[in-house]
Amino acid sequence: MKILLTGCAGFIGSHTAERLLNLDHKVIGIDNFSSFYSKEIKEANLSHFIKHPNFVFHEVDIRHKAVLYEVLKEPVDLVVHLAAKAGVRPSINDPEAYIDVNLKGTQHILQWMKDKGVKKMFFASSSSVYGNNDSGEALSEHKYDVKPISPYAFTKRAAELMNHSYHHLYDMDILNARFFTVFGPRQRPDLAIHKFVQLIANGKAIEMYGDGSTARDYTYVDDTVDGILAGIDFLSENNNVFETINLGNQHPVSLKQMIEVIYAKMDKEPRVDTKSMQEGDVNLTYADISKAKSLLNYEPKTKFEDGVAKFVAWYNQQPKRI
């Protein structure tokens, strides 16, 4: 199968590219090397597969429609659309940029698909679309009163809705997958586990926002990629598809517990500075994955503690503290 993979040099994108290539798919990867974090990190991610004979890379910004069309001349069998402007708190400071990338950029991908006759797309959405979880129960895709509380979250929800319009108008088969706090080797340096490990390794205290009771459904990257691959298979085998699924671990971990596990895996004494809660942060993410199990046979395998140990081992092997 020939697959267009947007955001191929990122954390999840690079793992996805490797797995697709190992399965003998042909992958056309695009990435714009966003300045959100170091280009050197993304180049290191790409180095694992950029010379693979079935991989072609183009440096393209999905906001630039004319360049997108110029580079992507031929249709593909399926699109895996992971490219996005990420980060909850930065989106509060610059919502226009998030609208520009996550909505306008996604619309460019959809329109390119329409014009090229491409009918299948796996779309990376986010658990952030749910907003605050006041019930404390697992979040189901059937919860229709989603209430995003950050620009990042509302752009992801808006993109889901835009995807439905293209499904309805142009018979596109689209799977919206809401990722729940993915972590593991190559994780972005701004995300909590990577940031905390780096601070601890450098002998610095970490900052805990709130009382430590907020919780995230941390999902190891290999499990998320398993879900992506299962989603690709589902799209390939079925027509008239428009589905939204959660890809999580179904085991929320509190911030306090997460910090304790990281210190234990690094064999360090905890040093924690408590700060007030930050704008845009939700209190709890907790995935109901029954739909993903039913449709995709999705079953996460990696326990949080084991995933943290794998991340710490990867971090310690890096030539630079990235």
pLDDT of residue 126: 96
Let me know how long the chain is.
322
Rounded to whole angstroms, the Cα distance separating 245 from 222 reads 17
Q: What is the pLDDT of residues 83-137, one digit of tens each?
A: 999 988 899 999 999 999 999 999 999 999 999 999 999 999 999 999 988 777 8
316 and 249 in contact (C-beta within 8 Å)?
A: no
Distances (CA, A) of 167 to 45, 110, 162, 243, 256: 33, 10, 9, 10, 42
Give, in words, the CATH class of 2-180+221-248: alpha beta
The two tokens of residue 86 are 């990420």
Rounded to whole angstroms, the Cα distance separating 107 from 120 reads 15
Asked whether residue 320 carries a pLDDT value surpassing 80, the answer given is no
Rounded to whole angstroms, the Cα distance separating 203 from 193 reads 15
Rounded to whole angstroms, the Cα distance separating 226 from 218 reads 15
Q: Is 89 left (phi over 0), alpha (psi -120 to 50) or beta?
A: alpha
Query: Average pLDDT for residues 155-161, to the nearest whole number?
Result: 97
Cα radius of gyration rounded to whole Å, the chain: 19
Active site residues: 152
Location of structure tokens 């959809």 = 110
Query: Average pLDDT for residues 272-298, to the nearest whole number?
Result: 88
Taken in order 256, 308, 283, 134, is the CA torsion positive or negative?
A: negative
Q: How many CB atoms lie within 10 A of CB 205?
A: 11
Distances (CA, A) of 315 to 143, 200, 318: 38, 12, 5
108 and 61 in contact (C-beta within 8 Å)?
A: no
* Structure confidence at residue 144 as a pLDDT band (50, 70, 90): low
Rounded to whole angstroms, the Cα distance separating 78 from 237 reads 12
DSSP 61-75: -TT-HHHHHHH--S-
| Ranges of each domain in the chain | 2-180+221-248
Asked whether residue 196 carries a pLDDT value surpassing 60, the answer given is yes
Asked whether residue 293 carries a pLDDT value surpassing 60, the answer given is yes
What percent of the chain has a predicted confidence (pLDDT) above 90?
Answer: 84
Which residues, 6+ apart, have CB-to-CB distance to 57 below 8 Å? 8, 29, 30, 31, 46, 50
